Chain A
Amino acid sequence: MLYRETGVFHSSYAADQAIFKLPQDRYAIAFWLVVAAVVLPLTVSNYVLTDLLTPFLIMAIAALGLNVLTGYCGQLSLGTGAFMALGGYMTYKLVTALPSASALIGSLTGVELALPDPVILGIRPFDLWFLAILIGAGLITAVVGLVFGLPSLKIKGLYLAVTTLAAQFFLVWLFIKVPWFTNYSPAGIAPAPPRTLLGLQVTGAASPPVNRYLFVLALTCLAALAVKNVTRCKVGRSWMAIRDMDIAAEMIGISPTRAKLSAFAFSSFLIGLAGALWAFVKINSVQTDAYGILVSFQVLFMVIIGGLGTVLGSFLGAAFVILTPILLNIGLTALNPGLQALGLPAFEVAMIKHIEFMIFGALIIFFLIVEPHGLARLWQIAKQKLRTWPFPY
């Protein structure tokens, strides 16, 4: 009763193919977009913006990327951290080598040329260079991802997962050992240079949290839209066919080579973008510490706990994996005064970390047992309940 398809008639092909076919869905998504883009930046504190929402959105992009590969195409990967690192380092190299579009033209042609830079209503419409850099870094990551995806043509399942670990350890080692990647920065930590977008500073230590948040939010929405649409078209369907049974898919004329490699490339593009944002928007520096094997597992958790092969699941999974440890930490720290009042020893910082690990591990097992198809499935169940309410039979 509350939520139903009945009575909604589509009179055009476009309406029938829409992502959100029901008016209710459209209102809901518009509501959430307004909340995310307007209400949250105006109301919540900078701490919430920088430490909770921004990392959540960045990791949601990474989860979307891995979901393309693992959820839609069925190829297990444990190299996510390395591809994020690649995105970060490539963005850094491109940003420092090519500070502006004029520099690119200058280096290509040898002619120093100043591009026009008009200011309209206080913003610079041509000031999108950083976006171009991000896309460039993403494309490089996509090419490397494609190369590391080549073994998937022959190797399957858990065997493939172990070969992707080669990417994880080799790339991270490379970034540590070759100082060229950090422009010879001391200790291998390269500070992220400040960059603007449409006249607003989005990276660097001095950029306001709201700018960063809105920048990441816009990119996350674009990424989600891209994934949703790509998976609804021919390429995406070929991915799912490969996932469900690769031999059968090959027999009906789907090329596994093209399907798998395109999934690797698209997935690596998004993961590289997430890695670049993590370095430039979240931690303000490019360093390998941020991209260890643990990150690879975290992203895999997001995809599996959220729900394989769903866009909504990537967001739910990212929220769970990013926010749970932070909330646990806050919760356990908040218990301390109470414990002291009872005469019990307070939790030390290290102990909180250990307990966090335990609860996080236990929660993963719990969710896998309660809902093996992921959190996104809960929304499906909720929709079904709302459809049949108040007569659930």
Chain B
Amino acid sequence: MELFATYVLGPLGEMADNPAGVVETVIGGLGNGFLYALVAIGFVIIFKSSGVFNFAQGAMVFFAALNFAGLLELGLPWYLAGPLALGAMFLFAVLVERVALRPLVGQSQLTLFMATIGISFLLQGFGEAIWGGNPHLLKVGLPEDSLFAIDYAWGQALGLDIIIQQSDLLAIATGLVMVGGLFLFFQFSRVGRALRAVADDHAAAMSVGIPLQHMWIAVWALSGLAAFVAATIWGTKIQIEPTMINLALKALPVLILGGLTSIPGAVIGGCIIGISELLFETYWGQPLFGGATTEWFAYLLTVPVLLIRPQGLFGERLIERV
């Protein structure tokens, strides 16, 4: 009973006492969740059309961020540095397809997964060898101050007295634009339709004349773009250093929760994980468990969800035959 009071009633009471704080936490969590989702989208794009579980996505974000930050440090304006960094990601996509994936066609999923871990090491080492191992800052003039909701008409109308980080809003907006853009791309563009065909059935897609190799370059380039966008947004929040790759690992539970093959799933999974882990950290982790619970909460959260739905919330159902 006493335990119940400490671990359930206490935090819930605290939430009830200060609803504005809960709203703040939820918005902050949503911002984090969209950051995870931006990385997870990159995973999904590759997994859906080539079946490769791309562990290197985190390293790709790091690499894109390093390139962008490094070029800015050299004194290039952002409108030159950005496209150059994006070009580097495209070059990387071509190289990955040529050097690593083409010889590994037909190997087991595990082998391909390990190859992407190799790519992850390679990218991290390469990026740091070029730009140095010190933490970099990536500031492209994106808004990052806090807003006071009460200063605005909508804040007064809702009676909200909260502080919102502009970077959170930016992450949410960018995430929504990305999802919308990808939806349009997959639905209406020629390449997008070809990619969906490849995702449905490799052999059938090849038989109607879709060049698989080009498609693989296209998916890696697309996820390179996703990594670049994620890197730019992340740069407003954190320093560019290798620990970023571990942070990007958080995209794994996000995409497992959402289902490996669904882009909306990645976003919704990101929201669920971002919000719940920040709420848990604020109301349970910090006061009761000594903090830093965000390190593991997302992973633990996936276990009960997967026990009920082994394919994630929005994944394609797994059908097994002997």
Contact = CB atoms under 8 A, between A and B. Distances in A.
A358 B110 contact: no
Contacts of B104: 368-369, 372
A166 B132 CA distance: 32
A349 to B, nearest CB: 10
A173 B299 CA distance: 13
Contacts of A245: 322
B107 A372 contact: yes
Interface stretch (B78-86, B170-178, B202-210, B306-314): B306-314
A6 to B, nearest CB: 34
B129 to A, nearest CB: 4
Given A354-B129, A369-B103, A293 B117 contact: no
Interface string B49-78: 000010000000000000000000000000
A251 interface: yes
Nearest to B56: A361
Interface string A320-359: 0000000000000000000000000000001101111111
Contacts of A356: 125
A357 B296 contact: no
21 contacts: A155-B306, A156-B310, A159-B306, A162-B253, A163-B299, A166-B300, A170-B300, A247-B320, A251-B322, A304-B114, A353-B133, A355-B125, A355-B129, A357-B125, A358-B125, A364-B121, A365-B115, A365-B119, A368-B115, A369-B100, A369-B103
Contacts of B24: none
Given A354-B133, A357-B125, A169 B299 contact: yes
A358 B120 CA distance: 9
B109 A157 contact: yes
Contacts of A154: 306-307, 310
Contact of A293 (B113, B119, B128, B249): B249
B118 A362 contact: yes
Given A355-B125, A368-B104, A165 B322 contact: no
Interface in B244-263: 246, 249, 252-253, 256, 260
A158 interface: yes
A301 B109 CA distance: 14
B119 A361 contact: yes
Contacts of B322: 245, 247-248, 251
Interface residues of A, number: 48
A89 to B, nearest CB: 17
A84 B122 CA distance: 26
Given A177-B292, A358-B125, A365-B122, 12 more contacts: A154-B310, A155-B307, A159-B306, A169-B295, A304-B111, A308-B110, A350-B133, A357-B128, A358-B126, A363-B118, A364-B118, A368-B115
A292 B114 CA distance: 18
A96 to B, nearest CB: 23
Per CB-CB distance, the 9 closest pairs between chain A and chain B, nearest first, are A357-B125, A361-B121, A361-B122, A364-B118, A358-B125, A166-B299, A169-B296, A354-B129, A170-B296
B114 A364 contact: yes
Greatest chain B CB density within 10 A among A162, A351, A364 is at: A162
Nearest to A157: B109
Contacts of B103: 369
A360 B260 CA distance: 29
A90 interface: no
Interface string A151-194: 10011111100110110111011001100000000000000000
